[in-house]
Amino acid sequence: MSLPTQGFAFRVDAVDGNARSGLLETPRASIETPAFMPVGTQASVKGLTPDEVTSTGARIILANTYHLWLRPGAESVAAHGGVVGFMSWPHALLTDSGGYQVFSLAKHRIIDDDGITFRSHLDGTLHRLTPEEAMRVQALLGSDIAMVLDECPPGAASRAEVELAMARTTAWAERCLATEPARGQARFGIVQGGTELDLRLSHLETIAALDFDGIALGGFSVGEPSAQMYHLLDQITPRMPKDRPRYLMGVGTPTDLLRALSSGVDLFDCVLPTRNARNGQALTWGGRVNLKQARHRDDESALDSRCDCSACTGYSRAYLRHLFKADEMLGPRLLSLHNLHFYGALMRKAREMIRLGELRPWVEATLMQMHELDEVGLSDE
C-alpha cells in the first residue's frame, strides 16, 4: 500500500503467525523487513566506514538529532548535503527527534506542555526543543524518516506520570504533523504507555488515527523485565496498523529481536552490537563470547564458524583477544563489524523463515543454542 509521503511505499509479502516479511521503499533505498538499523549517533557508526556498514546488509541507519543539532549544528550538516552527504552514506536514514537524549543527557532540563528547555551536556549553553524545532532540525539533517518529539517516562514512573507523558506525546505529535513537511521525508508517530497494557492500547489507537507514515513503540527496555516487554509486545504489535511499518525503538539483544519480530515488529535499532563490541563482547550464533576471557588466549578457532565477516574469516579468537588486551583499536573495529554482520544475518534468516512458514521452531532452536553456550557472567581471567 502506498504511504502518504511521496517516494515511500510499504508492503507485506509474507506472514507467519504475527510475524511479517515485507519491503519498505524510501527515496534512497529498498529495505527488506524485518530489518535492524545500525546506530550512527554522530553521523558515524562508531569505528566503521559506510562501505563496511553496507557490507553487513544494512540499508538504513539511525542518526541522533540531539547530538548533531548541538555539534556541528543542523545548518552545517545541511550545507554538506545532510547527514547522508556529510558522512557519505549511500542508503536510507532515520533520525530520532532528540527528545530521549534531552531527558537522559541534558543538564537542568525543564519540561512544559510547549516543549523542553535544557542546557547542553557539551558546554552548558541553553536550548529550547519544541515539536516544531525537532521537525525543523530533522528537515535540515535530510533524513528519509523523521521521528516526532515525544516524552518518554522513566521505567519507575507512576501511572499518572505515564498518562501525562502520553497526553504530551499526543499533543506534540499533532504539532509535528502540522509543520510543513520536508520534501520526501516520512514521519513516524510514537506510542507511549509504560508497562500498562490498557494505556498502551489506548495510545496506539490515538496515534494510529493520525496521518503518520509509520508507527513506533517507544519507552521499552527502560528497566522493565524482558519477559514483561515480550508479553506486552505480543498483545500490542498485532493491533498496530497492518499497512504501515512498525518500529520498536532502542531494542535490543538478539533475543529481543527474535521475540519482537515474532510479534510483528518490522524495524529495530540499538547501540548494543557496537557498544558491546567495544567492550570485547561478540554476539554469535553460539551465544555471547567475551574475548577478554583467558580461555581464548591460545584458541586458534574462528570467532564464529557460521559468519563470513572479515573478523571470522581472517583472524583467530586468540588474535582478537590479543588486540583487546593490547588496547589496539583494530579489536573494537573488527568486533563491531562482526556484530553488525551477525545482526544482518539474523534478520535475513528470520525473513527466510517467515517466508517458509517455519519461524517459530527456528526461533526456539536458535535461542536455545545461543543460551546454552552463552559466556556472559564468566570472569575475565
Burial class of residue 204 in the structure, from the number of CB atoms within 10 Å of its CB (0-12 exposed, 13-18 middle, 19+ buried): buried
Q: Which of 96, 144, 256, 266 is the catalytic position?
A: 96
Burial class of residue 261 in the structure, from the number of CB atoms within 10 Å of its CB (0-12 exposed, 13-18 middle, 19+ buried): buried
**Helices then strands (H, E): number in the chain?**
15, 16
Report the SS3 class of residue 268. Answer: strand
Burial class of residue 121 in the structure, from the number of CB atoms within 10 Å of its CB (0-12 exposed, 13-18 middle, 19+ buried): middle
- 269 as an active site residue: the answer is yes
Report the alpha-carbon distance of residue 271 to residue 269 in Å, rounded. 7
**DSSP codes of every residue in 193-219:** -TT-HHHHHHHHHHHHTS--SEEEE-S
Q: Which of 16, 144, 269, 304 is the catalytic position?
A: 269
Burial class of residue 110 in the structure, from the number of CB atoms within 10 Å of its CB (0-12 exposed, 13-18 middle, 19+ buried): exposed
Taking alpha carbons only, the member of 266, 272, 232, 237 closest to residue 252 is: 272
Report the alpha-carbon distance of residue 85 to residue 164 in Å, rounded. 39
Cite the active site residues: 96, 269
